[in-house]
Amino acid sequence: METPDLSTPTRIDPRVLSRELDTLLPAERIVSVDSGNFMGYPSQYLAVPDEFGFCFTQAFQAVGLGLSTAIGAAMAQPGRLPVLGAGDGGFLMGISELETAVRLGLPLVCIVYNDAAYGAEVHHFGHGDEEVDLGSVTFPDTDIAAIARGFGAEAVTVRTVEDLQSVEAWVAAYEKGTQDRPLVIDAKIASDGGSWWLAEAFQGH
Ligand SMILES: Cc1ncc(C[n+]2csc(CCOP(=O)(O)OP(=O)(O)O)c2C)c(N)n1
Ligand SMILES: [Mg+2]
């Protein structure tokens, strides 16, 4: 099936981003997923080798556990590339653990689906035709790549498929066995109008 693409010149469709990363990143991987509107994208588009390749923290329903989950997964299975899928809100909640990943020299890929919002909450606030104030759940743009570099990680800002080229260099070093820094992908994502899985889940709220 063709991947839907609502990318704009400055924001990438999260489904296209995830599909491209599925191709770019080594298949021998362990995917961890934080909580939020975004969480279906890595779950749907990033293939994993088996059941030991997928850590889904939704059992706790708490935002912000993804990065520490991914670090734990990396320690448990050093032979696999750890890949985190997180939203901007959840990633910033747990970002102190980036220092841990840098200190441990972990090759860890953090995909941050950056919609400048607590996107899941937009579902709650924004349904129907009424005018609603989204001021408490939407944010100004945050340069997560710059913050990640401050922690000592490698980082890239992604707005288009072409911007993903720098991921290839990071992967090449990983494949040579010389990669000792996490990579944070600050993906400025386009809206697909709110993910279908949360629209469905929130129907009763
Ligand atoms: C600790 C905690 N606080 C608040 C919530 C409610 N909550 C669920 S998803 C979400 C938004 C997460 O935002 P982000 O990580 O940016 O992901 P997005 O929904 O934007 O894709 C919030 C606040 C929660 N589940 N856990
Ligand atoms: Mg968000």
Place of tokens 């349904």: 127
Query: 14-201 belongs to which homologous superfamily?
Result: Thiamin diphosphate (ThDP)-binding fold, Pyr/PP domains (3.40.50.970)
- Give the model's pLDDT for residue 77: 95
Nearest CA to 163 out of 194, 187, 183 is that of 187
pLDDT band at 128 (very low <50, low <70, confident <90, very high): low
pLDDT level of residue 127 (50, 70, 90 thresholds): low
Pocket residues: Cβ below 6 A from ligand 1 = 35-38, 61-64, 87-90, 113, 115, 117-121
Integer CA distances (angstroms), 21 to 73, 100, 201, in order:
19, 24, 27
- What residues contact 72, with CB distance under 8 A and at least 6 apart? 55
Ligand nearest to the Cα of 197, by number: 1
Residue 30 pLDDT class (50, 70, 90 cuts): very high
Give the DSSP H or E segment for 197.
helix 196-201
- Nearest Cα to Cα of residue 13 among 137, 187, 168: 187
**Are 112 and 147 a contacting pair, CB within 8 Å?**
no
Residue 126 Cα to chain centre, angstroms: 23
As a 3-state breakdown, the chain gives helix, strand, coil percent values, each rounded to 5, of 45, 20, 40
Query: Which is higher by pLDDT, 202 or 99?
Result: 99
Question: For the chain, which residues make up each domain, given as ranges?
Answer: 14-201
pLDDT in tens, 99-123: 999 999 999 999 999 999 999 988 7
Euclidean distance between CA atoms 161 and 159, whole angstroms: 7
Closest residue (by CA) to atom 25 of ligand 1?
A: 62
- Give the position of tokens 């850590």: 55
Q: For ligand 1, pick from 35, 92, 95 the residue to mutate: most ligand atoms within 8 Å of CB.
A: 35
